[in-house]
Amino acid sequence: MLRATGVSQSFGGERVFDDLSVEVDAGEVLGVIGPSGVGKTTLLRTLALSLEPDEGTVALDGTDAWAAEESDRLALRRRVGMVFQEASLFDASVRRNVEYGLRVRSAWSDRIAAAVGLAETPDAVHESLDVVGLADKASQHAASLSGGEAQRVSFARALAYDPDVLLLDEPTSDLDPRNTAVIEDAIAEARDRDIGVVVATHDMHQAERVADRVAVLLDDGITEVGSTERIFEDPSDERTRKFISGELVY
């Protein structure tokens, strides 16, 4: 469904990754593991169509996003959701945060009606909050939430508009075990909804728990992609094996 082929990215003349290819299908969870600073976030932003690659293509269902017209690219971008490491909630209620993605996709008349409080809250908002166990917090202000709750709202915000692909950038790196478990359950729920999920994480145990396939991203790009079981039990690449066993220290 979402496929990056031969993509390269650089910032300030410095290459982040080169000739990298990765894909995720509907109803699949792809874990991208690798040490901090190796370019996982840049890869996810590239997949989210927020960053144009220096080289290569990013295609959704065969449509090359960066070869398409801007309006078509916006339509493609709106089929992809992303959750960042920081929740970055808007200065508004939980409900307003979660319905944002739905509102930007609706007509201006509906948006104005919602802004002045004349529109009903879409069912998808309650359903998404229910997935992350925060249905009772809809009316609270985002600033009143704990860090874990804020990240769960951030997940619900991306889930509410039913994306085809969901990209998660270190979604539980700052969370306690309970909130981590809620997010991991929500990832499973997204997969059950036939959403393709990409989880970038430096927590290999988490990748082992949630991912169907794993891509290992090291300094020189993706060293290996395969089923989670094979990557963790029988990696074919020597650098992957060293990274997973902890011998490759960053």
Partner 1 sequence: MPLEPVAQSLSAVFGAPEAHDLSLFFNLSLLLDFSLFRDLSLFLDLPLFLDLPFREGYVRSIIYVSLYVSVTAVTLSTLFSVPVAVLVGFSEFPGKRFVKSVVNTGMGFPSVVVGLLVLFAVSNQGPLGSLELVFTREAMIMSQFVLATPPITAITLAAVSGVDDGVRDAARALGGTRLDVALVVLKEARYGIATAILAGFGRAVSEVGSVLIVGGNITSADGISKTRTLTTAIQLEARQGQYETAMVLGAVLVALVLTVNAVVVHFGDEGVTR
Using CB under 8 A, pick the residue from 105, 181, 227, 233 that binds partner 1. 105
Contact range with partner 1 by CB under 8 A, out of 9-17, 29-37, 152-160, 238-246? 152-160
Minimum CB separation of residue 8 from partner 1 in Å reads 22
The token pair at 199 is 């989880």
Contact range with partner 1 by CB under 8 A, out of 20-28, 90-98, 173-181, 228-236? 90-98
Distance between CA atoms of residues 46 and 100, nearest Å: 22
Using CB under 8 A, pick the residue from 14, 91, 123, 192 that binds partner 1. 91
Q: What is the DSSP string of 45-89?
A: HHHTTSS--SEEEEEETTEEGGGS-HHHHHHHHTTEEEE-SS---
Contact range with partner 1 by CB under 8 A, out of 30-38, 99-107, 180-188, 194-202? 99-107
- Residue 88 binds partner 1 (CB under 8 A): yes
Distance between CA atoms of residues 17 and 47, nearest Å: 13
- Residue 110 binds partner 1 (CB under 8 A): no
The token pair at 101 is 């993605």
Question: Judged by CB, which is closer to partner 1: 34, or 163?
Answer: 163
The token pair at 10 is 């650089």
Minimum CB separation of residue 71 from partner 1 in Å reads 10
Using CB under 8 A, pick the residue from 78, 126, 209, 239 that binds partner 1. 78
Distance between CA atoms of residues 214 and 133, nearest Å: 28
Residues contacting partner 1: total by CB under 8 A: 26
Closest to 66 in 3D by CA, of 16, 3, 11, 24: 3
The token pair at 181 is 């478990």
Q: Alpha helices of 85-138 — where are they, by DSSP H?
A: 94-103, 108-115, 123-131
Contact range with partner 1 by CB under 8 A, out of 31-39, 75-83, 203-211, 215-223? 75-83
Please state whether 161 falls in left (phi above 0), alpha (psi between -120 and 50) or beta.
Answer: alpha
- Residue 104 binds partner 1 (CB under 8 A): yes
Using CB under 8 A, pick the residue from 9, 43, 53, 100 that binds partner 1. 100
Using CB under 8 A, pick the residue from 131, 134, 158, 207 that binds partner 1. 158
